[in-house]
């Protein structure tokens, strides 16, 4: 297939470029570099099956030639209000990527009779009252809260995707992506994995917000990309959770990072989450992914962190 990936220079988008090219497809990457990093796709320069267009997908999408599939991954994704890459500092761009960008991608798919895959998120569940979260759960979100620009953009994008599927017969997929980590994350991403790894590598105490009882489930990027690819080539139109169901508290996670890296500086606690409405529990029910895609995460936390450390060491100048 000839596949367009929006957000191609982002963390997940760039890894998807690699996987699709490895599968023998031709890839058209698109990014405006608001949060994407050109270094993430620099190694693809000169690849005859890779083309790149710098463009904001919320304005328009114009790609010469036939397109067989579109993977819409263009969106800020970091909740860090202290980072220029965080969606709290890019609220309008985030909403436009989820609304106008999704609309433009779906219109392109309709014109080309192409397949569409939306990168949705576990954040559509908000601070969940159901645990673990199944795809049938409608969510518990604040539409005007500090995370609403991201959460509501993704919820709207899902609704628009299903509208195009139901009314225009567009062949659609929805991946609800849970916490993912690995090489090519921004150092000031603001999410817990890059925060903890950097602090541990520098020999600093790890910062845990609250009492550390809030939970997350972490999926290594190679597993995540495999799940997304399996969904792309499947016939499933309904949302599918993709994530690692192994749940741990932030305190347990911090202790694990310190142990793996050998950091003796310990842990410090701060009283509140920097964004103000940190979800307390997050764990995917991946029954549908197992049954429909034959997928589940295979890389455990220790192996995934060990694969990630060299990238952060390089970026921090510790090699």
Domain with residue 102: its CATH number is: 3.40.50.720
Whether 137 maps to a domain, the answer reads yes
Residue 318 falls inside a structural domain: no
Give 19-53 as a DSSP string: HHHHTT-EEEEEE--SS--GGGGGGGTT-TTEEEE
Domain extent, residue 68, equals: 2-184+220-244+284-298
* Domains in the chain, number: 1
3-class secondary-structure state, position 240? strand
- Using 50, 70 and 90 to split pLDDT, how confident is the model at 276? low
Give me the pLDDT at residue 119, please: 98
Question: Is residue 275 in some structural domain?
Answer: no
pLDDT at 255: 96
Catalytic residue among 87, 125, 137, 150: 150
- Asked if residue 191 is part of any domain, the answer here is no
- pLDDT at position 277 is 63
Q: Is the pLDDT of residue 274 over 70?
A: no
Identify which has the larger pLDDT, 175 or 272: 175
Q: Tell whether the model's pLDDT for residue 273 goes beyond 70.
A: no
Structure confidence by residue, pLDDT tens digits, 211-269: 888 888 999 999 999 999 999 999 999 999 999 999 999 999 999 999 999 999 999 99
Q: Strand 206-209 vs strand 239-242: parallel, antiparallel, or unpaired? A: unpaired
The answer to whether 276 and 80 are in contact (CB under 8 A) is: no
Q: How far apart are CA 49 and CA 160, in angstroms?
A: 31
Residue 264 lies in a domain: no
pLDDT over 70 at 166, yes or no? yes
Task: Indicate whether 215 belongs to any domain.
Answer: no
pLDDT at 279 over 90: no
CA pair distance 188, 87, nearest whole angstrom: 13
Q: Is the pTM of this model over 0.85?
A: yes
Instruction: Decide if 53 is inside a domain.
Output: yes
4, HSE (Cβ side, Cα atoms, 13 Å)? 29
Check if the beta carbon of residue 195 is closer than 8 Å to that of residue 207.
yes
Q: Are 266 and 201 in contact, with CB atoms under 8 Å apart? A: no
Integer CA distances (angstroms), 65 to 16, 53, 68, in order: 21, 13, 10
User: Is 39 domain-assigned?
Assistant: yes
- The token pair at 188 is 């000031």
Catalytic: 150? Answer: yes
Mean pLDDT over residues 282-294, rounded?
96
The encoded tokens of residue 174 equal 């929805």
Question: Mean pLDDT across the chain, nearest whole number?
Answer: 94
């Amino acid at each position: 297939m000839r596949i367009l990936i929006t957000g191609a220079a982002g963390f997940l988008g760039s890894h998807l470029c690699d996987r699709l090219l490895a599968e023998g497809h031709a890839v058209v990457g698109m990014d405006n570099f608001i949060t994407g990093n050109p270094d993430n796709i620099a190694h693809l320069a000169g690849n005859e099956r890779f083309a790149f267009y710098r463009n904001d997908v919320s304005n328009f999408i114009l790609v010469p030639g036939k397109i067989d599939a579109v993977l819409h991954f263009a969106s800020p994704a970091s909740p860090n209000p202290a980072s220029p890459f965080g969606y709290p500092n890019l609220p309008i761009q985030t909403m436009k990527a989820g609304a106008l960008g999704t609309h433009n991608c779906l219109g392109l798919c309709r014109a080309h009779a192409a397949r569409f895959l939306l990168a949705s998120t576990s954040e559509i569940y908000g601070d969940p009252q159901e645990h673990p979260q199944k795809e049938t759960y409608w969510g518990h979100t604040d539409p005007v809260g500090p995370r609403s620009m991201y959460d509501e953009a993704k919820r709207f994008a899902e609704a628009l995707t299903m509208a195009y599927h139901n009314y225009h017969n567009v062949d659609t997929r929805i991946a609800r992506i849970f916490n993912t980590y690995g090489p090519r994350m921004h150092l000031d991403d603001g999410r817990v994995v890059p925060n903890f790894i950097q602090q541990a590598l520098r020999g600093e105490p790890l910062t845990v917000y609250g009492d550390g009882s809030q939970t997350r489930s972490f999926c290594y990027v190679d597993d995540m990309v495999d799940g997304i690819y399996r969904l792309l080539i499947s016939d499933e139109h309904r949302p599918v959770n993709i994530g690692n169901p192994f749940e741990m508290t932030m305190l347990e996670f911090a202790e694990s990072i310190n142990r793996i890296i050998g950091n003796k500086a310990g842990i410090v606690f701060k009283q509140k989450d920097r964004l103000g409405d940190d979800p307390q529990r997050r764990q995917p029910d991946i029954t549908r992914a197992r049954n429909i895609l034959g997928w589940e995460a295979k890389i455990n936390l220790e192996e995934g962190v060990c694969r990630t450390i060299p990238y952060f060491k390089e970026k921090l100048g510790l090699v």
